[in-house]
């Protein structure tokens, strides 16, 4: 009896070593920290080895005071404990390595589990930060295992080791705390397994961080979907463990399938990718006639990119050909695959395949709290034989951002900038604006008929006290999370009478929050709109981190009960367009128009240069420039915005063409390469709208030249007849040299080549100069016909591209796009509605 286990043991070892594994690690370390060399189904070394640990050790070893008998003895019956920073060093070859850290949060002599906080870093990556293993294990217990025992767990990271050929792992206890570790494992992996692998499809993003040597990964989930847990020794040689997917499955009827045919690996899916056990079992909906989804909910930390690897293999004997079973795959409620067909992806039954997807999980409120990453699959109507969807395995990785798996929102964090005032103490009007952000303001994209032109009633709230409380409400630029009840109370259960705007995205309501002390605009995104979710995320992600007097302020959001609701300051004067040619508003005087243009240009300049990465608005138009009670212009609607390029020297991002017809930069449209200069172009169109008070596209009753405002404006500028197309109501107000300057700025924004257009700060400059010319002329009285000397020199100085604008043979690319728009019936004179969008699907390449 005593010898039995000893006899058995060598056989087990023999068995597991002689079973040829598809991959044989070139680097392999397995340490029982604080303990002795020992064997389980694998051999563990003691960590008491000088080559791994510094000679001047400041650590203790200890056993847990009370180990649950169900917790494996090795490596959990001992721990190494550190009260100062401590580094393990391992010699390894260059290449990607698994690093696994084993934790059992228990009380070790006088060290209590809930008092241990520490950070772990490795080769320059921050892996864990102020980490408390007890919290992690409590989370696992309540959310995943539903047991009353404190679970032990393993954290798995992947690090690409460079020419230094070492892995250093540093444990740093938080102040007055301690760190511990039960086991450390390092295993090499094939160069092409996760790094440098196939193309990753980004969902809702045009790109993500490349998985190259400077990104480290953390495995968050590795599931043998529809199958049993697979222990490390049954992996393909890398000792990964595969868990059951049941805890993450959204309750619904599913069928698990077990394979009867052999699994045939290929060059694209080599044998080491995943064990046969993964591909030989799967979860499916079962041939069904129902239109529902097979769904998994995977809690992850928000504010990071994630890569999902989906493993598939058709093992259902009835499915034998292409088109028989086609299914859709959704990630984060966005379509990742419309037509997943295993017979299209592989040679047929028994051939495994995996697909990689990337997604960003937005951190809406800056808390970094866990959010559910949704993976859903459902039948596609094009299936010819069966309605079904299935999955065999799933791996989810968190990607380091800026060298860290723990730091949040490093991408979008704006640089600290002094708050900029619109125009320095120019008029008392502006002074009032700066003090009076409090109360009122507007909304986005409203179709005119629904705007309520209502001055804010709470004019009392401009006192400094109120101002302060408002600032408190938005601590450090973060935004507030509303409950659905607060939103419903604010809008009287989304009462029709509260609607002040509507568009393709959904409705905009006027509402009152905080005991009716604050008027807000509430945008309720249509849950059915496919684009909606991405826009919702983008808007929150950007606006919660950007604050500028010339950008519309997001107060908060609500994402309860599947609603996507955004809450903004209410803007009592509505959109710029409403005051130009829509609606029956009184005429806007020229100087006010100029000031609005300057304000909007400053808002865009801040977007382009205020954060550490440029933000490209992509949908600059007169309906996205809102006016508050003091006529301060605010740039709004960041739903289509994009981060500019990350790398220095790259000046564009490649992206699907989005925007509004009539405003869209022809160069962007043609090349699909987005730069800040695309916003400059659109802004140039807005300048012409302001000057001429007419829609950007007029379909009927005008000559061909007049259809497109951008063309029409440029043509008249070149011919020197700009004055003839100016809004009749203001043409007498405009000083001629101011008009010249303004025309010059607008024209330079509309240059065909983005590189020749001015930057937004130059546009601000040019417009401020135009305003000065106007004011100077007004001061002298009789402005008509008067010219101010020296102006042409300034002109040259500001926009040094000479001669270009009089050249007649400049290409007229824009004509082409006019044709496209009309041909597809996309031209909408109501540019405020989303129907006017040109989307990637309708644009010919
Ligand atoms: C690890 O630490 C050793 C000794 O401090 C150092 O020489 C080596 O460069 C470090 N390696 C890495 C990858 O940081
Ligand atoms: C290798 O990694 C070390 C530690 O992160 C870093 O200091 C060094 O610059 C890297 N070298 C190369 C060639 O990437
Ligand atoms: C996806 O949709 C479901 C319900 O349809 C919702 O509960 C969930 O919050 C959504 N997921 C995300 C990431 O928004
Ligand atoms: C399946 O999930 C997607 C994404 O969440 C959703 O858009 C779709 O409506 C769902 N289908 C069904 C039938 O519930
Ligand atoms: C990355 O980190 C470095 C150093 O901490 C910092 O200077 C840089 O701004 C960060 N980059 C981003 C995009 O956050």
Hey, which of 430-439, 694-703, 718-727, 795-804 has the most confident mean pLDDT?
A: 718-727
The best mutation among 203, 303, 374 to test binding of ligand 3, ranked by most ligand atoms within 8 Å of the C-beta, falls on 374
Which segment of 317-326, 426-435, 795-804 scores lowest on mean pLDDT?
426-435
- Is 155 within any annotated ligand binding site? no
547 C-alpha to center of ligand 2: Å? 37
- Report the pLDDT averaged over residues 520-547: 73
Measuring from atom 4 of ligand 4, which residue has the nearest CA? 333
Percentage with pLDDT > 70 across the chain: 76
Q: What is the pTM of this model?
A: 0.55
Whether residue 721 is found in the same domain as residue 778 = yes
User: Is residue 454 situated within a structural domain?
Assistant: no
Q: Indicate the pLDDT class of residue 185, thresholds 50, 70 and 90.
A: very high
Whether residue 39 is found in the same domain as residue 181 = yes
CB of 55 closer than 6 angstroms to any ligand 4 atom: no
SS3 61: strand
CB of 162 closer than 6 angstroms to any ligand 1 atom: no
Measuring from atom 13 of ligand 1, which residue has the nearest CA? 123
CA nearest 801: which of 754, 765, 769?
754
Per-residue pLDDT, 652: 61
181 C-alpha to center of ligand 5: Å? 30
The answer for residues whose C-beta is within 8 angstroms of residue 562's C-beta and 6 or more apart is 527
Residue 521: phi and psi, rounded to 5, are -105, 130
Q: Indicate the pLDDT class of residue 104, thresholds 50, 70 and 90.
A: very high
Active-site residue identified among 245, 388, 605, 619: 619
Whether residue 365 is found in the same domain as residue 286 = yes
User: Is residue 440 situated within a structural domain?
Assistant: no
Between 838 and 620, residue with greater pLDDT? 620
Element housing 393 (H / E): strand 393-399
**CATH number where 261 lies:** 2.60.120.430
841 C-alpha to center of ligand 4: Å? 21
Between 643 and 277, residue with greater pLDDT? 277
- Report the pLDDT averaged over residues 168-180: 90
CB of 469 closer than 6 angstroms to any ligand 4 atom: no
Over residues 562-573, the pLDDT tens digits come to 788 888 888 888
Q: Across the chain, what does the average pLDDT equal?
A: 77
Is the pLDDT assigned to residue 531 strictly greater than 70? Answer: no
Question: Whose atoms come closest to the Cα of 300: which ligand?
Answer: 3
CB of 409 closer than 6 angstroms to any ligand 5 atom: no
Measured distance CA(775)–CA(766) in Å, rounded: 14
User: Is residue 818 situated within a structural domain?
Assistant: no
Whether residue 15 is found in the same domain as residue 106 = no
Per-residue pLDDT, 65: 83
Residue 79: phi and psi, rounded to 5, are -140, 155
Question: Whose atoms come closest to the Cα of 298: which ligand?
Answer: 3
Atom of ligand 3 nearest to the CA of 361: 13
Per-residue pLDDT, 797: 30
Atom of ligand 5 nearest to the CA of 402: 1
Beta-carbon neighbour count of residue 813 at 10 Å? 12
- Report the pLDDT averaged over residues 57-81: 85
Atom of ligand 2 nearest to the CA of 125: 5
658 C-alpha to center of ligand 1: Å? 47
Per-residue pLDDT, 177: 86
Residue 605 bears catalytic tag = no
- Report the pLDDT averaged over residues 674-682: 91
User: Is residue 843 situated within a structural domain?
Assistant: no
Over residues 383-409, the pLDDT tens digits come to 888 889 999 999 999 999 888 888 543
User: Is residue 648 situated within a structural domain?
Assistant: yes
Is the pLDDT assigned to residue 801 strictly greater than 60? Answer: no
Is the pLDDT assigned to residue 716 strictly greater than 80? Answer: yes
Whether residue 560 is found in the same domain as residue 584 = no
* Structural domain boundaries, residue 95: 28-188
Whether residue 548 is found in the same domain as residue 590 = no
Whether residue 222 is found in the same domain as residue 181 = no
Whether residue 465 is found in the same domain as residue 583 = no
- DSSP lists the bridge partners of residue 397 as 219, 307
SS3 395: strand
**CATH number where 94 lies:** 2.60.120
Measured distance CA(27)–CA(89) in Å, rounded: 13
Is the pLDDT assigned to residue 233 strictly greater than 60? Answer: yes
Which segment of 324-338, 351-365, 547-561, 797-811 scores lowest on mean pLDDT?
797-811
What's the token pair of residue 79?
Answer: 């721990």
Q: Indicate the pLDDT class of residue 142, thresholds 50, 70 and 90.
A: confident
CB of 333 closer than 6 angstroms to any ligand 4 atom: yes
User: Is residue 201 situated within a structural domain?
Assistant: no
User: Is residue 197 situated within a structural domain?
Assistant: no
Measured distance CA(71)–CA(705) in Å, rounded: 80
The answer for residues whose C-beta is within 8 angstroms of residue 425's C-beta and 6 or more apart is 431
SS3 737: helix
Is the pLDDT assigned to residue 85 strictly greater than 50? Answer: yes
Q: Indicate the pLDDT class of residue 48, thresholds 50, 70 and 90.
A: confident
Whether residue 487 is found in the same domain as residue 589 = no
Q: How many domains does the chain have?
A: 4
For 770-832, the DSSP string reads HHHHHHHHHHTS--TT---TTHHHHHHHH----SGGG-TT---HHHHHHHHHHHTT---S-TT
Whether residue 671 is found in the same domain as residue 743 = yes
CB of 164 closer than 6 angstroms to any ligand 2 atom: yes
Axis-axis angle for helices 676-692, 760-779 (nearest 10)? 30
Which segment of 182-191, 383-392, 686-695 scores lowest on mean pLDDT?
383-392
User: Is residue 157 situated within a structural domain?
Assistant: yes
Measured distance CA(234)–CA(239) in Å, rounded: 7
Per-residue pLDDT, 312: 96
Q: Among 123, 156, 188, give the residue marking a domain's end.
A: 188
Measuring from atom 4 of ligand 3, which residue has the nearest CA? 562
CB of 563 closer than 6 angstroms to any ligand 5 atom: no
Per-residue pLDDT, 492: 84
Measured distance CA(206)–CA(208) in Å, rounded: 7
Is the pLDDT assigned to residue 506 strictly greater than 90? Answer: no
Is the pLDDT assigned to residue 651 strictly greater than 90? Answer: no
E strand segments, 648-725: 653-654, 673-674
Whether residue 607 is found in the same domain as residue 727 = yes
Q: How far is CA 33 from the centre of its chain?
A: 40
Q: Among 542, 569, 596, give the residue marking a domain's end.
A: 569
**Phi/psi-derived region of residue 272, left when phi > 0, alpha when psi is between -120 and 50, beta in every other case:** alpha
Over residues 294-334, the pLDDT tens digits come to 999 999 988 888 999 999 999 988 888 888 899 999 999 99
533 C-alpha to center of ligand 3: Å? 9
Per-residue pLDDT, 167: 95
- Report the pLDDT averaged over residues 56-80: 84
Per-residue pLDDT, 796: 31
Question: Whose atoms come closest to the Cα of 52: which ligand?
Answer: 1
Atom of ligand 1 nearest to the CA of 87: 2
Pocket lined around ligand 3, Cβ cut-off 6 Å: 332-333, 374, 562
């Amino acid at each position: 009896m005593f010898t039995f286990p000893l006899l058995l043991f060598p056989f087990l070892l023999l068995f597991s070593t002689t079973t040829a594994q598809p991959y044989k690690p070139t680097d392999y370390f397995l340490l029982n920290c604080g303990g002795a060399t020992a064997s389980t189904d694998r051999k563990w070394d003691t960590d008491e080895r000088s080559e791994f640990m510094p000679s001047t050790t400041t650590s203790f070893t200890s056993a847990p005071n009370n180990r649950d008998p169900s917790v494996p003895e090795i490596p959990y019956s001992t721990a190494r404990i550190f009260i100062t920073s401590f580094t393990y060093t391992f010699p390894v070859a260059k290449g990607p390595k698994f690093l696994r850290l084993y934790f059992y949060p228990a009380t070790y002599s006088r060290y209590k589990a809930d008092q241990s906080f520490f950070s772990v870093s490795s080769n320059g990556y921050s892996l864990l930060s102020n980490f408390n293993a007890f919290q992690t294990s409590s989370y696992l217990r309540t959310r995943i295992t539903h047991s009353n025992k404190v679970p032990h767990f393993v954290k798995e990271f992947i690090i690409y080791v460079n020419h230094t050929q070492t892995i250093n792992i540093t444990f740093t206890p938080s102040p007055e705390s301690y760190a511990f570790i039960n086991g450390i494992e390092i295993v090499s992996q094939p160069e092409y397994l996760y790094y440098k692998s196939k193309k990753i499809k980004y969902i809702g993003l045009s790109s993500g961080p490349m998985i190259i040597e400077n990104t480290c990964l953390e495995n968050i989930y590795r599931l043998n979907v529809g199958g049993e847990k697979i222990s490390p020794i049954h992996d393909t040689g890398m000792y990964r463990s595969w868990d059951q997917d049941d805890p993450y499955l959204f309750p619904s009827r599913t069928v698990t399938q077990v394979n009867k045919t052999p699994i045939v690996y290929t060059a694209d899916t080599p044998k080491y990718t995943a064990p046969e056990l993964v591909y030989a079992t799967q979860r499916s909906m079962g041939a069904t006639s129902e239109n529902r989804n097979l769904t998994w909910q995977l809690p992850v930390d928000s504010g990071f990119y994630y890569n999902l690897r989906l493993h598939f293999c058709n093992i259902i004997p009835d499915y034998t050909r292409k088109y028989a079973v086609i299914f859709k795959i959704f990630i984060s409620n966005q379509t990742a695959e419309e037509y997943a067909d295993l017979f299209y992806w592989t040679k047929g039954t028994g051939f495994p395949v995996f697909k990689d997807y990337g997604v960003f999980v937005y951190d809406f409120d800056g808390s970094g709290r866990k959010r559910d990453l949704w993976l859903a699959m459902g039948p596609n109507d094009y299936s010819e034989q069966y309605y079904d969807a299935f999955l065999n395995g799933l791996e989810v990785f968190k990607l380091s951002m800026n060298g860290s798996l723990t730091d949040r929102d490093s991408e979008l964090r704006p640089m600290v900038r002094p708050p900029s005032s619109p125009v320095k103490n120019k008029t008392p009007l502006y002074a009032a604006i700066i003090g009076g952000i409090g109360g009122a303001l507007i909304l986005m994209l409203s179709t005119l008929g629904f705007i309520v032109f209502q001055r804010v009633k709470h004019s009392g709230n401009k006192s400094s006290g109120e101002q302060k409380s408002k600032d408190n409400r938005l601590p450090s630029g973060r935004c507030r999370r509303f409950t659905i009840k607060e939103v419903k109370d604010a809008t009287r259960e989304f009462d029709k009478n509260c609607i002040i705007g509507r568009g393709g995205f959904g409705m905009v309501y006027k509402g009152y929050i905080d005991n009716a002390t604050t008027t807000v605009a509430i945008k309720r995104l249509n849950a059915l709109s496919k684009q909606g979710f991405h826009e919702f995320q983008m808007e929150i992600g950007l606006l919660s981190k950007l604050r500028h007097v010339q950008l519309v302020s997001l107060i908060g959001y609500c994402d309860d009960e599947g609603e996507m609701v955004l809450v903004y300051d209410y803007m009592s004067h509505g959109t710029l367009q409403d005051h130009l040619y829509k609606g029956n508003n009184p005429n806007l005087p020229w100087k006010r128009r100029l000031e609005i243009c300057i304000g909007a240009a400053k808002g865009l300049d801040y977007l382009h240069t205020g954060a550490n990465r440029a933000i490209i608005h992509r949908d600059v138009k007169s309906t996205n420039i809102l006016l508050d009670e003091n006529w301060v212009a605010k740039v709004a609607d960041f739903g289509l915005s994009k981060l500019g390029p990350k790398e220095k020297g790259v000046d564009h991002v490649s992206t699907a063409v989005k925007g509004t017809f009539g405003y869209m930069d022809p160069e962007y449209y043609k090349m699909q390469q987005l730069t800040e200069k695309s916003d400059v172009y659109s802004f140039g169109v807005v300048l012409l709208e302001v000057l001429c008070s007419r829609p950007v596209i007029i379909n009927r009753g005008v000559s061909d030249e007049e259809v497109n405002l951008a063309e029409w404006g440029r043509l008249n500028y070149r011919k020197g007849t700009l004055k003839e197309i100016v809004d009749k109501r203001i043409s007498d107000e405009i000083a001629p040299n101011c008009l010249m300057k303004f025309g010059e700025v607008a024209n330079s924004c509309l240059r065909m080549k983005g590189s020749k257009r001015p930057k937004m700060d130059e546009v601000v400059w040019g417009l401020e100069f135009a305003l000065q010319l106007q004011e100077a002329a007004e001061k002298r009285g009789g402005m008509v016909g008067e010219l101010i000397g020296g102006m042409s020199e300034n002109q040259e100085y500001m926009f040094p591209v000479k001669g270009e604008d009089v050249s007649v043979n400049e290409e007229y690319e824009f004509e082409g796009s006019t044709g496209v728009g009309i041909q597809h019936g996309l031209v909408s004179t109501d540019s405020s509605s989303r129907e006017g969008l040109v989307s990637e699907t309708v644009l010919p390449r």
